[in-house]
A and B are shown apart, each in its own frame.
Chain A
Amino acid sequence: MAKFTTLTSHAVPLTADNVDTDQIIPARFLKVTEKHGLGDSLFSDWRYHEDGSPREDFVLNQPESQGAQILIAGHNFGSGSSREHAPWALVSWGFRAIIATGFADIFKSNALKNGLLPVEVTPAVHKELMQAVQLDRGTKITIDLPTQSVTGLGSLEATFPIDDFSKHCLLNGIDQLGYLLAFDDQITKYEQQRT
Chain B
Amino acid sequence: MKPRTLFEKVWDAHVVAQEPDRPAVLYVDLHLIHEVTSPQAFTGLRERGLGVRRPDLTVATMDHSTPTLPKALAVIDDQAKAQLRMLEQNCEEFGIELFGLGSQYNGIVHVIGPERGFTQPGKTIVCGDSHTSTHGAFGALAFGIGTSEVEHVLATQCLLQRKPKTLEVRVEGQLLPGVTAKDIILALCAQIGTGGATGHVIEYTGAAIRGLDMEGRMTVCNMSIEAGARAGMIAPDDTTFEYLQGRDRVPKGADWDAAVERWRALKTDVRAKYDERVVIDANELEPMITYGTNPGMGMGISGSVPSLDSFGESSQQVAFEKAMLYMDVEPGKPLLGKKVDVVFIGSCTNSRIGDLRLAASVFSGRKVADGVRTLVVPGSHDIKVQAESEGLDRVFKDAGAEWREPGCSMCIAMNGDNLEPGQYAVSTSNRNFEGRQGKGGRTFLASPLTAAASAVTGKVTDPRSLLLS
Contact = CB atoms under 8 A, between A and B. Distances in A.
Interface of A: 15-18, 20, 22-23, 26-28, 30-35, 45, 50, 74-76, 79-84, 87, 102-106, 109-110, 113-114, 123, 163-165, 175-177, 179-181, 183-184, 186-187, 190-191
Contacts of B48: 177
Contact of A113 (B130, B148, B164, B228): B148
Interface in B84-142: 86, 128-130
Contact of B145 (A35, A102, A106, A191): A106
Interface string B186-207: 0000000111001100000000
B36 interface: yes
A33 B65 contact: no
A79 B435 contact: no
A76 B436 contact: no
Contact of B37 (A18, A74, A83): A83
A-B complex: 3 closest residue pairs judged by Cβ atoms: A76-B195, A110-B146, A84-B146
Interface of B: 16-17, 21-23, 25, 27, 36-37, 39-40, 43-44, 48, 50, 53, 64-65, 77, 79-80, 82-83, 86, 128-130, 144-149, 151-152, 155-160, 162, 164, 193-195, 198-199, 225, 228, 230, 294, 296, 313, 315-316, 318-319, 322, 412-414, 421, 431, 433-436, 439
Contacts of B159: 180
Contact of B322 (A16, A79, A84, A179): A16
B145 A82 contact: yes
B152 A180 contact: yes
A34 to B, nearest CB: 7
A45 B434 contact: yes
Contacts of B82: 31, 33
A79 B16 contact: no
Contacts of B228: 76, 79, 104-105
A186 B16 CA distance: 7
B315 A17 contact: yes
Contacts of B313: 17, 123
A33 B319 contact: no
A181 B153 CA distance: 10
A82 B414 contact: no
B152 A176 contact: yes
Contact of A33 (B40, B144, B193): B40
A80 B37 contact: no
A180 B146 contact: no
B436 A22 contact: yes
A27 B436 contact: yes
Contact of B147 (A20, A84, A164): A84
A16 B294 contact: no
Contacts of B22: 164-165, 179
B37 A177 contact: no
A82 B146 CA distance: 6
A23 B195 CA distance: 16
A16 B313 CA distance: 11
Given A34-B40, A109-B149, A16 B413 contact: no
Contact of B195 (A27, A102, A114): A102
Given A31-B414, A165-B22, A186-B16, A109 B146 contact: yes
Contact of B148 (A16, A75, A114): A114
A74 B317 CA distance: 12
A15 B149 CA distance: 30
B40 A179 contact: no
Contacts of A20: 194, 294, 431, 433
Given A34-B43, A81-B130, A113-B148, A76 B198 contact: yes
Contacts of A179: 22, 160
A117 B218 CA distance: 34
B51 to A, nearest CB: 12
Contacts of B230: 105
Contacts of A35: 40
A18 B320 CA distance: 11
Contact of A180 (B21, B130, B156): B156
A119 B377 CA distance: 41
